């Protein structure tokens, strides 16, 4: 007999995504957020921060493959990687598939998230003890401000732009990312989604904050059933490398990297945006804010 327990994520009191729960495995308030871990019938284990679904075992592979394999298929010269956030460890797991990556620094503000995931979600966190990985438990905005020309890839694998994640969607932070990257450097950032108005405001805000800092700045899409609307984006910014022009499918395929979502055809398709998303991306607000930028 299945339990009568449900977890719901709600959007502005109008839309809900609900998952039936076997049991709540963990609940604690860190100095930064409310951390919960549930065991669900359909999606396996699930991490929730401040009431928002972060990962479920069933679909996290989509997010973590798309945040990591897209930049790595563009620049095989990536050796040193910085992850801001990423407490569940899924991005680290994907990056470690590349033997040429020498060092992964992960700057996660909340040690309790890492500890909870190491205890209850080993399917994403088991690689955090790899010798190539170094964990720093501090605010990513502070760490980034101290870096100069030392990372080939930065992944901003953060929560949404409220709570501790808010500072990671600011122009000064993205400018510091530019400074921290080497000449062929790539930044991939959590870029929210265009479908619901609550997320589209953050989607446009992120665009306005990044616009004009990097010579190359594009967004790419992926579907993620347990994220709001199931349709989400990453930003791709670089000092010169283009995600399509500099992408060599054959070179990536020769690495024999095992994936369940990412493939070279999908890489190209991820950057082909629907008309309504193009309109939002180029929307008046975006242009207005970009023109009136400081």
202 is catalytic: no
CB atoms closer than 10 angstroms to residue 191: 21
- Which C-beta is closer to ligand SAM: that of 85 or that of 194? 85
Tokens of 55: 């990962």
Which residues neighbour 107 within 8 Å (Cβ) at sequence distance 6 or greater?
82, 83, 84, 85, 136, 138, 139, 140, 143, 144
Helix (H) / strand (E) element for 200: namely helix 197-210
Tokens of 61: 């592979």
DSSP string, 48-79: EETTEEEEETTTHHHHHHHHHHHHHHH-TT--
- Which C-beta is closer to ligand SAM: that of 110 or that of 152? 110
Catalytic residue among 110, 139, 152, 157: 157
- Which C-beta is closer to ligand SAM: that of 71 or that of 90? 90
Q: Nearest approach, Cβ of 263 to ligand SAM (angstroms)?
A: 20
Q: Nearest approach, Cβ of 158 to ligand SAM (angstroms)?
A: 4
φ, ψ of residue 7 to 5 degrees: the values are: -110, 130
Enumerate binding residues for ligand SAM (CB under 6 A): 32, 54-55, 60, 63, 84-88, 90, 107-110, 113, 139-141, 157-159, 164-165, 167-168
CA atoms within 13 A on the CB side of 171: 11
Q: Nearest approach, Cβ of 164 to ligand SAM (angstroms)?
A: 3
- Dist CA 131 CA 121 (whole Å): 20
Q: Nearest approach, Cβ of 86 to ligand SAM (angstroms)?
A: 6
- Which C-beta is closer to ligand SAM: that of 34 or that of 239? 34
Q: 């076997």: which residue's tokens?
A: 22
Q: Nearest approach, Cβ of 247 to ligand SAM (angstroms)?
A: 23
Provide Rg for the chain, Cα atoms: 18
- Which C-beta is closer to ligand SAM: that of 195 or that of 247? 195
- Residues classed as catalytic: 157
């Amino acid at each position: 007999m299945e339990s009568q327990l449900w977890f719901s994520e709600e959007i502005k009191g109008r839309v809900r995504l609900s998952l039936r729960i076997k049991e709540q495995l963990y609940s604690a308030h860190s100095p930064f957020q409310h951390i919960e871990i549930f065991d669900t019938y359909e999606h396996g284990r699930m991490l929730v921060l401040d009431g928002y679904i972060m990962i479920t075992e069933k679909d996290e592979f989509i997010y973590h493959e798309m945040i990591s394999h897209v930049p790595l298929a563009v620049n095989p010269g990536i050796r040193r990687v910085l992850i801001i956030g990423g407490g569940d460890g899924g991005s680290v797991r994907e990056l470690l598939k590349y033997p040429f990556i020498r060092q992964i620094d992960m700057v996660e503000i909340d040690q309790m998230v890492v500890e909870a995931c190491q205890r209850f979600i080993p399917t994403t966190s088991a690689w955090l003890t790899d010798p190539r990985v170094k964990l720093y438990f501090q605010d990513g905005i502070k760490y980034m401000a101290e870096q100069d020309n030392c990372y080939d890839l930065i992944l901003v694998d953060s929560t949404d732009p409220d709570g501790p994640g808010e500072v990671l969607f600011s122009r000064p932070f993205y400018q510091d990312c530019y400074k921290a990257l080497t000449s062929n450097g790539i930044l991939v950032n959590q870029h929210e989604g265009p479908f619901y108005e609550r997320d589209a405001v953050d989607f446009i805000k992120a665009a306005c904050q990044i616009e004009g800092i990097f010579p190359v700045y594009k967004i790419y899409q992926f579907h993620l059933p347990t994220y709001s609307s199931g349709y989400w984006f990453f930003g791709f910014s670089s000092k010169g490398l283009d995600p399509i022009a500099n992408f060599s499918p054959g070179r990536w395929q020769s690495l024999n990297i095992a994936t369940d979502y990412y493939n070279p055809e999908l890489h190209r398709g991820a950057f082909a945006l629907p008309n309504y998303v193009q309109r939002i991306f180029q929307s008046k607000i975006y242009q207005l804010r970009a023109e009136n930028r400081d």
